[in-house]
Homo-oligomer: A and B are copies of this chain.
Amino acid sequence: MILEVAMLKVHAGQERAFEEAMAKAAPVIAGSRGYLGHELRQCVETSGRYLLLVQWETLEAHTVGFRQSPAFNQWREIIGGFFTEAPVVEHYQGVLKWPEKSS
Q: Which residues of A contact B (CB under 8 A)?
A: 2-3, 5, 19, 22-23, 26, 30, 37-46, 49-51, 59, 90-99, 102
Contact = CB atoms under 8 A, between A and B. Distances in A.
Chain A: interface secondary structure? strand
A44 B96 contact: no
A26 B45 CA distance: 25
How many identical chains are in the complex?
A: 2
Nearest to A38: B98
A44 B26 contact: no
Q: Which 6 A-B pairs have the closest CB atoms?
A: A41-B92, A40-B96, A44-B91, A39-B97, A40-B95, A26-B98
30 contacts: A3-B41, A5-B51, A19-B95, A19-B96, A22-B96, A30-B98, A37-B97, A37-B98, A37-B99, A37-B102, A38-B97, A38-B98, A39-B94, A39-B95, A39-B97, A39-B98, A40-B94, A40-B96, A42-B94, A42-B95, A43-B90, A44-B59, A44-B90, A44-B91, A44-B92, A45-B90, A45-B91, A46-B90, A50-B92, A50-B95
